[in-house]
Amino acid sequence: MFWFPAPAKNDPRVLSFLAYEMEYLKGAWTAPKILMSLLVPLFFVLLITAAWKRSWKWLLGTVIGAAVLKVLWSVIFSGDAGLSILKPAIMGLIICVGGLYFYLKKRRAKE
Protein backbone atom coordinates (compact mmCIF):
# COMPACT_ATOMS: atom_id res chain seq x y z
CA MET A 1 0.00 0.00 0.00
CA PHE A 2 1.50 3.23 -1.15
CA TRP A 3 0.95 5.17 2.08
CA PHE A 4 3.18 2.86 4.13
CA PRO A 5 6.95 3.13 3.82
CA ALA A 6 8.78 0.10 2.46
CA PRO A 7 9.99 -2.13 5.30
CA ALA A 8 13.68 -2.13 6.10
CA LYS A 9 13.64 -5.94 6.25
CA ASN A 10 11.22 -8.27 4.44
CA ASP A 11 9.53 -10.98 6.49
CA PRO A 12 10.13 -14.36 4.81
CA ARG A 13 6.56 -15.46 5.65
CA VAL A 14 5.13 -12.43 3.84
CA LEU A 15 7.30 -13.13 0.79
CA SER A 16 6.22 -16.77 0.87
CA PHE A 17 2.56 -15.83 1.11
CA LEU A 18 2.83 -13.31 -1.73
CA ALA A 19 4.58 -15.94 -3.86
CA TYR A 20 1.75 -18.38 -3.08
CA GLU A 21 -0.89 -15.82 -4.10
CA MET A 22 0.95 -15.03 -7.34
CA GLU A 23 1.22 -18.73 -8.15
CA TYR A 24 -2.47 -19.19 -7.31
CA LEU A 25 -3.50 -16.41 -9.68
CA LYS A 26 -1.20 -17.56 -12.48
CA GLY A 27 -2.17 -21.24 -12.14
CA ALA A 28 -4.91 -23.12 -13.96
CA TRP A 29 -8.40 -21.70 -13.49
CA THR A 30 -10.55 -24.61 -12.40
CA ALA A 31 -14.26 -24.47 -11.54
CA PRO A 32 -13.63 -24.31 -7.75
CA LYS A 33 -11.08 -21.53 -8.28
CA ILE A 34 -13.53 -19.56 -10.40
CA LEU A 35 -16.27 -20.01 -7.78
CA MET A 36 -13.90 -18.85 -5.02
CA SER A 37 -12.90 -15.83 -7.11
CA LEU A 38 -16.55 -14.88 -7.56
CA LEU A 39 -16.69 -14.27 -3.80
CA VAL A 40 -14.74 -11.04 -4.34
CA PRO A 41 -17.40 -9.29 -6.46
CA LEU A 42 -20.07 -10.83 -4.22
CA PHE A 43 -18.37 -9.16 -1.25
CA PHE A 44 -18.59 -5.78 -2.97
CA VAL A 45 -22.24 -6.34 -3.92
CA LEU A 46 -23.05 -7.19 -0.28
CA LEU A 47 -21.05 -4.21 0.93
CA ILE A 48 -22.77 -1.76 -1.43
CA THR A 49 -26.22 -3.23 -0.81
CA ALA A 50 -25.84 -3.08 2.97
CA ALA A 51 -24.62 0.53 2.81
CA TRP A 52 -27.33 1.52 0.33
CA LYS A 53 -30.05 0.06 2.55
CA ARG A 54 -28.34 1.53 5.62
CA SER A 55 -28.30 -1.87 7.23
CA TRP A 56 -25.38 -1.27 9.55
CA LYS A 57 -25.55 -4.75 11.06
CA TRP A 58 -25.29 -6.33 7.60
CA LEU A 59 -22.47 -3.96 6.70
CA LEU A 60 -20.58 -4.87 9.86
CA GLY A 61 -21.26 -8.56 9.31
CA THR A 62 -20.04 -8.37 5.72
CA VAL A 63 -16.78 -6.67 6.70
CA ILE A 64 -16.12 -9.06 9.59
CA GLY A 65 -17.09 -12.09 7.50
CA ALA A 66 -14.79 -11.06 4.66
CA ALA A 67 -11.85 -10.56 7.01
CA VAL A 68 -12.40 -13.91 8.71
CA LEU A 69 -12.81 -15.76 5.41
CA LYS A 70 -9.67 -14.15 3.96
CA VAL A 71 -7.60 -15.16 6.98
CA LEU A 72 -9.04 -18.70 6.95
CA TRP A 73 -8.40 -19.06 3.21
CA SER A 74 -4.85 -17.77 3.63
CA VAL A 75 -3.98 -20.13 6.48
CA ILE A 76 -5.71 -23.19 5.01
CA PHE A 77 -4.18 -22.89 1.56
CA SER A 78 -0.75 -21.40 2.27
CA GLY A 79 -0.08 -22.73 5.75
CA ASP A 80 2.13 -20.81 8.15
CA ALA A 81 2.80 -18.12 5.53
CA GLY A 82 -0.91 -17.26 5.66
CA LEU A 83 -0.53 -16.17 9.26
CA SER A 84 1.51 -13.21 8.00
CA ILE A 85 -1.71 -11.41 7.03
CA LEU A 86 -3.26 -11.80 10.48
CA LYS A 87 -1.94 -8.52 11.90
CA PRO A 88 -2.88 -6.36 8.86
CA ALA A 89 -6.28 -8.06 8.61
CA ILE A 90 -7.06 -7.41 12.27
CA MET A 91 -5.84 -3.81 12.03
CA GLY A 92 -7.95 -3.21 8.92
CA LEU A 93 -10.96 -4.74 10.63
CA ILE A 94 -10.46 -2.55 13.71
CA ILE A 95 -10.22 0.54 11.51
CA CYS A 96 -13.39 -0.38 9.57
CA VAL A 97 -15.41 -1.25 12.68
CA GLY A 98 -14.10 1.83 14.49
CA GLY A 99 -14.92 4.08 11.54
CA LEU A 100 -18.45 2.68 11.33
CA TYR A 101 -18.89 3.05 15.08
CA PHE A 102 -17.83 6.71 15.07
CA TYR A 103 -19.96 7.44 12.00
CA LEU A 104 -23.05 5.95 13.64
CA LYS A 105 -22.31 7.70 16.94
CA LYS A 106 -21.97 11.06 15.15
CA ARG A 107 -25.11 10.39 13.11
CA ARG A 108 -27.15 9.54 16.22
CA ALA A 109 -25.90 12.67 17.98
CA LYS A 110 -27.28 14.79 15.10
CA GLU A 111 -30.67 13.10 15.37
Q: Rg of the chain over CA atoms, in angstroms? A: 17
Residue 78 resides in a domain:
yes
Task: For residue range 69-87, list pLDDT tens digits in order.
Answer: 999 989 998 888 888 888 8
**Structural domain of 85:** 12-110
102 vs 41, 62, 105, CA distance in Å?
27, 18, 5
Question: Residue 53 and residue 59: Cα distance in Å, rounded?
Answer: 10
Domain count, the chain: 1
Residue 3 in any domain: the answer is no
Residue 25 in 3-state DSSP?
Answer: helix
Q: Given a cut of 90, is residue 10 above it in pLDDT?
A: no
Q: What is the pLDDT of residues 12-67, one digit of tens each?
A: 888 898 899 899 989 999 998 999 889 999 999 999 999 999 999 999 999 999 99
Q: Model-level pTM? A: 0.77
